[in-house]
Amino acid sequence: MRVPPRLFSGSLLRMALLASVVSMAGGAVSAVAQEAAKVLEAEEATTLKIEPPQAQWGYIRGGFGSGGTRIFDGVTGKMKGLVETSKSSDMAIDPAGKFYYVSESIWTKGDRGTRQDMVSVYDTTDMKLLAEITMPGRLIIGGRKQNFIISDDGKTGFVYNFDPASSVNVIDLVKRKFVTDIDLPGCASLMPNPGVGFSALCSDGSIATVAVNGSKSSVTRSASFFAASVDPIFDNYTYDQSKAEAVMVSYTGLVYQVKVSATPTVSAPWSLQVAAGLRPGDTKPLDVNWFPGGTQPMALNRKTGLLYVLMHIGEFWSQKQAGTEVWEIDVAAKKVLGRHPLEKPAVNIEVTQSAEPLLFLSEDEGGNARVIDAKTWESKHEIKRAGGGIINTFFPR
């Protein structure tokens, strides 16, 4: 590296002054002189590796003003690494823990120029970019877990597209190539459908099931089970791979359990509020009650069958309001086991699938995160400027 003359001469002057001090003070400051000499040594760049995805880790997306997905160890509260994700990208984790997949759009001139849509593939131990899988388009929006999903066997990716109309891109993650684009008018919020393809929620209140066989596909729809114009369902719902079951919550607090198959079945809805011993949520104006809210308002522990929902006091259409309590719910028993006040309101919640489950929460202000022991409800860590976006955890299988 070439050193500018002015900086070089200044360094020589400082070394000369240090030498004169050493000569006057004897060997007492020889250690200081040795440390000063180290300043001139050349730096060496190194690259560290991290472990593959762990069950106790939380993946927190950057908020509106920041990109990147930060990886935090819930046990220590320390940051482990960062996945390159823009604010409008979608990330998914390989079920085998070998790859991070990012569905993203870029432009040749930053915010303009030629648009490129792709799924970028990263190694999970050194974060190296391994491939870019080009595809025809995608929905450019962040904060939705169901925009980009991976089949339970990890071989196929499904990317929600809205260019120019609602459709889904099918990506072969083994051969790393785009397969086909399937028209899916009026539907979004994808979920895997093992052995079939995928399913999606539709605006008419039904579930669309898409059977995928290579480049060929067929679409069927269930009967309508909710009215999107009356009581919509939160799109960041939970999906349990071990049971092939999705658990969804509506704006009023109704819980729907969907068995995913070639012909999905939906259980009769039940009320969160009633499960807590309260009156059910209502759509009437000015009817104040406890309601679910936030961007990512719910999390499910697959092993225990416990559902965690962010709740707040408000009225209907307050679904974006941050939660002031976490309700702990036994889904099988349809019972609220506990109501846990939060130190600060939160907008996103996720739970690890580790032996000792941990809750990750994105707080409403400051982009901070909090880690809570899901058994003792002790606050383990407060992580400053963690990102503020939606949260993922790894489900090892």
Percent of the chain with pLDDT over 70: 89
Mean pLDDT of 319-343: 98
Q: How many domains does the chain have?
A: 3
Residue 338's DSSP bridge partners are: 328
The answer on 156 and 140 residing in a single domain is yes
The answer on 70 and 26 residing in a single domain is no
Kindly state the greatest CA–CA separation across the chain: 92
CA 336 – CA 315 distance, rounded (Å): 20
Question: Has residue 149 got a pLDDT over 50?
Answer: yes
Query: Which spans in the chain are helix H?
Result: 5-25, 30-38, 272-275
Question: Has residue 369 got a pLDDT over 50?
Answer: yes
229 falls within a domain: no
230 falls within a domain: no
Q: Picking from 3-7, 162-166, 171-175, which range would have the lowest pLDDT averaged per residue? A: 3-7
Question: Has residue 28 got a pLDDT over 90?
Answer: no
Question: Has residue 10 got a pLDDT over 50?
Answer: no
CA 365 – CA 320 distance, rounded (Å): 14
10 falls within a domain: yes
Report field, pTM of the whole predicted structure over 0.85: yes
Q: Which two tokens stand for residue 154?
A: 């990890």
209 falls within a domain: yes
The 10s digit of each residue's pLDDT in 51-103 is 999 999 999 998 766 679 999 999 999 999 999 998 789 999 999 999 999 99
CA 67 – CA 29 distance, rounded (Å): 47
CATH number at residue 344: 2.130.10.10
For 358, the domain range is 52-77+272-397
The answer on 371 and 295 residing in a single domain is yes
Question: Has residue 386 got a pLDDT over 90?
Answer: yes
105 falls within a domain: yes
Minimal CA–CA distance to 299: which of 260, 248, 259, 262? Answer: 248
Question: Has residue 332 got a pLDDT over 70?
Answer: yes
349 falls within a domain: yes
Q: Which two tokens stand for residue 21?
A: 């001090």
* Confidence grade of residue 22 (pLDDT, cut at 50, 70, 90): very low
The answer on 210 and 97 residing in a single domain is yes
The answer on 178 and 289 residing in a single domain is no
Question: Has residue 23 got a pLDDT over 50?
Answer: no
Mean pLDDT of 340-347: 97
160 falls within a domain: yes
Domain boundary pick from 187, 206, 224: 224
The answer on 148 and 96 residing in a single domain is yes
CA separation, residue 183 to residues 98, 187, 219, 327, 335 (Å): 30, 10, 9, 38, 40
Whether the bond between 341 and the residue before it is cis, its omega within 30 degrees of 0, is: no
The answer on 312 and 181 residing in a single domain is no
The 10s digit of each residue's pLDDT in 241-253 is 889 999 999 999 9
Q: What is the pLDDT of residue 178?
A: 98
The answer on 72 and 134 residing in a single domain is no
CA 389 – CA 397 distance, rounded (Å): 26
* C-alpha dihedral sign at 374, 294, 106, 183: positive
The answer on 71 and 13 residing in a single domain is no
Question: Has residue 223 got a pLDDT over 70?
Answer: yes
Question: Has residue 12 got a pLDDT over 70?
Answer: no
Question: Has residue 380 got a pLDDT over 60?
Answer: yes
The answer on 309 and 351 residing in a single domain is yes
The answer on 88 and 204 residing in a single domain is yes
45 falls within a domain: no
Helix (H, G, I), strand (E, B) or coil at 12: helix
> In residues, how long is the chain?
397
Q: What is the pLDDT of residue 167?
A: 97
Mean pLDDT of 131-149: 94
Q: What is the pLDDT of residue 36?
A: 53
Minimal CA–CA distance to 224: which of 247, 202, 250, 249? Answer: 202
Question: Has residue 190 got a pLDDT over 60?
Answer: yes
Average pLDDT score over the chain: 90
The answer on 103 and 208 residing in a single domain is yes
Q: Which two tokens stand for residue 226?
A: 């909710």
Helix (H) / strand (E) containing 379: strand 379-383
